[in-house]
Amino acid sequence: MNTDQILKDIVKSKYTEIALQDKETNMSSCCGAGGCSTEVYNIMSEDYSQLKGYNADADLGLGCGLPTQFAKIKQGDVVIDLGSGAGNDCFIARHETGQTGKVIGIDFTPAMIEKARVNAEVRGFNNVEFRQGDIEKMPVTANAADVIVSNCVLNLVPNKDGVFSDMYRVLKPGGHFSISDVVLVGALPEGLRKDAEMYAGCVSGAIQKEVYLELIQANGFENITIQKEKPIYIPDDILKKYLTTEDLAAYRNDNTGIFSITVFATKPLNTSCTPGSGCC
C-alpha cells in the first residue's frame, strides 16, 4: 500500500471516531484527532454560533476558519462543501443560498455522511445533500458549482494538487472558492512532520504557504486573495514529544509558524485555456 493511501486510511479511521465524539473533545484536540494536548482550550476552531444558519448539532469543532462567512454566496447559488463533516458549513451555506439554491456536501468518511444526513433530515433541509466520495475525484459533474467552500480539510489530503484540479473542473466559469486551511511558514520539526498521527491532526499534513498559493495559481485560478490569516499556537506538551527543551525554545523564537488562512480565488470566465499549458 502506498504512503498516500496509508495516510488516507489513518484520516478515515480518525474521523470515524470524531463523528462519535462531542464537540468539546474535538475542540480541545488537534482537529479532533485525539487528546494530543493536556492544555484544554480551542487550538484551531473559530466560533460559528453567531452566523445565520448555524446548527449546534452539526458543529463538531473541527474547523480552522469561517470560510462561509467570506464565500460571497448569493441566493440561488449551487454550493459544494469539501469535507462536509456533520454538515456545519453546509447548513450555513444553505441559509445564504436560500430555497432556490442547492448545497452539496462531500466527505469520504461514511460515519460523517450518515451524521450529516440525519442532521439535514430532522431539519427538513431538502435542498442539502451529502455524497460520499474523494474530493480529488468528486462525485459531481463538471461546471456544476457557483461556489466551493472547505474548512480545514485540504491539509489532510496528500494530493493537494489533485484537489485544486478537481475544484477547477466542477466550478462553473466565473465561479469561485473560499477555503480555510492550515499552512506553514518555515520548516516543522522533523519528527512532527513525519508523524502520521499528527497528519490526521491537521499539523504535519500542512504545506508551505507559498507552495499552497502556487498550486492554486498553477491550476488556472485567478484573483487569488488571502481573506483572513491567523497564527495557530501548538502547545508545548505536543512539541515536547518531538523537541528537546533547547530545540523547543529555538522553535518558539525563530520565524517558523503554523497558520490558518482563508483563501479566495475565481475560475476564469474564459476557460478555453487549459491550466498548465502556459497560456493562462
Query: What single string gives the DSSP state of each residue in 257-280?
Result: EEEEEEEEEE--S---SPTTSS--
- In the chain, the N- to C-terminal Cα span, in Å, equals 36
202 torsion bin: left (phi>0), alpha (psi -120 to 50), beta (else) = left
Query: pLDDT category, 275, cuts 50, 70, 90?
Result: low
Higher pLDDT, 104 or 17: 104
Cell of 155: 491539509
The rounded mean pLDDT for the chain is: 80
Cell of 197: 498521527
| Residues in the chain, overall count | 280
pLDDT tens digit sequence for 62-97: 667 889 999 999 999 999 999 998 898 999 999 999
SS3 128: strand
234: DSSP letter: P
> Is 234:228 a contact under the CB 8 Å cutoff?
no
Q: Write out the DSSP string of 16-67.
A: HHHHTS-HHHHHTSSTTSS---SS-S-SS----TTSTT--GGG--S--SS-H
Query: pLDDT category, 205, cuts 50, 70, 90?
Result: confident
Q: Kindly report the CATH class assigned to 3-265.
A: alpha beta
Question: Residue 19 above 70 pLDDT?
Answer: no
pLDDT tens digit sequence for 42-60: 355 666 666 776 666 666 6
Cell of 6: 496509508
Cell of 238: 505536543
Q: Which residues contact 83 (CB under 8 A, 6 or more apart)?
A: 106, 107, 135, 150, 151, 152, 153, 154, 156
Higher pLDDT, 234 or 215: 215
What confidence score (pLDDT) does residue 7 get?
Answer: 65
Radius of gyration of the chain (CA): 18
